[in-house]
Amino acid sequence: MIRAIVTDIEGTTGSIAFVHEVLFPYARRHLGDFVRQHGNEPVVAEQVEAVRHLADEPEADLERVIAILEGWIDDDRKVTPLKALQGLVWERGYRNGDFTGHVYPDAVDGLQRWHQAGIALYVYSSGSVQAQKLLFAHSDAGDLTSLFTGYFDTTTGPKREMASYRRIVEVIGEPAESVLFLSDVVAELDAAAEAGLRTVQLVREPGMTTGAHFVAANFDAVPLDG
């Protein structure tokens, strides 16, 4: 019996296009000025220092750090300091009404249905927990945050590593086999299955790589039995 569902965001609850054509370009446009303006504030300074450490450039000045971050956006690197800073930059975009978080209507329905059925819902995304909460608080369908029990990001570990899912299951406090992980990415599903979780792959667009996981075209087709 499924007692908890952990869902990915990009390509699962919302479109890949929203992340790559709205969120990432917004961060690319505003990140430099944001870091220049707020670089002395502890929450930003901590991430700037983490960039220097991760890039192995301890002497990098602020302009060099910004260039590193912009390169990481271009390469879609799922690294914690970039993700934390992106979340801070997107906050302004959501609050200004520059965009709303894309969530597929079937995902809204499915999440509401499962929540009403007493299944605990969690998010696991490379986007920071702050960015996840912003997306669901300012979604196309309104504030959906009350549906979720908890959020996990790269501070729990990379999404393609089995140990990350072991940690998530420990926090959830349910047996791995009663936790279902939803994602569009086979490598993430492989890692979750290795940790003993049940898995379903969302294939929302033609031509996506599939693997050994049950495939669903949308949340209506996600089976909770068998």
Ligand X SMILES: CSCCC(=O)C(=O)COP(=O)(O)O
Binding site for Mg ion (CB under 5 A): 8, 10-11, 184
AA identity, residue 22:
V
Residue closer to Mg ion, measured from CB, 153 or 184: 184
CA distance 193 to 188: 9
CB of 66 to Mg ion, least distance (A): 27
Q: Which residue in this structure is represented by tokens 């894309």?
A: 102
- Among Mg ion, ligand X, none, what binds residue 110 when CB lies within 5 to 8 Å by partner kind? none
**113 contacts: CB under 8 Å, gap ≥ 6:** none
CB of 76 to ligand X, least distance (A): 7
DSSP string, 105-158: HHHHHHHHHHHHTT-EEEEE-SS-HHHHHHHHHTBTTB--GGG-SEEE-TTT--
Residue closer to ligand X, measured from CB, 8 or 106: 8
CB of 38 to ligand X, least distance (A): 19
Here's the x/- map for ligand X, 109-138, by CB under 6 A: it reads as ----------------xxx---xx--x---
Looking only at residues 153 through 182 of this chain, which bind ligand X when binding is defined by CB under 6 A?
A: 159
Residue closer to ligand X, measured from CB, 108 or 226: 108
Residue closer to ligand X, measured from CB, 43 or 177: 43
CB of 187 to Mg ion, least distance (A): 10
**74 contacts: CB under 8 Å, gap ≥ 6:** 28
* Strand bridging mode 214-216 / 198-202: parallel
Q: What is the dihedral of CA 64, 160, 120, 175, to 10 degrees?
A: -140
- Among Mg ion, ligand X, none, what binds residue 133 when CB lies within 5 to 8 Å by partner kind? none
Q: What sign results for the dihedral spanned by CA atoms 143, 147, 149, 150?
A: negative
- Contact set with ligand X (CB under 6 A): 8-10, 19, 23, 78, 83, 125-127, 131-132, 135, 159
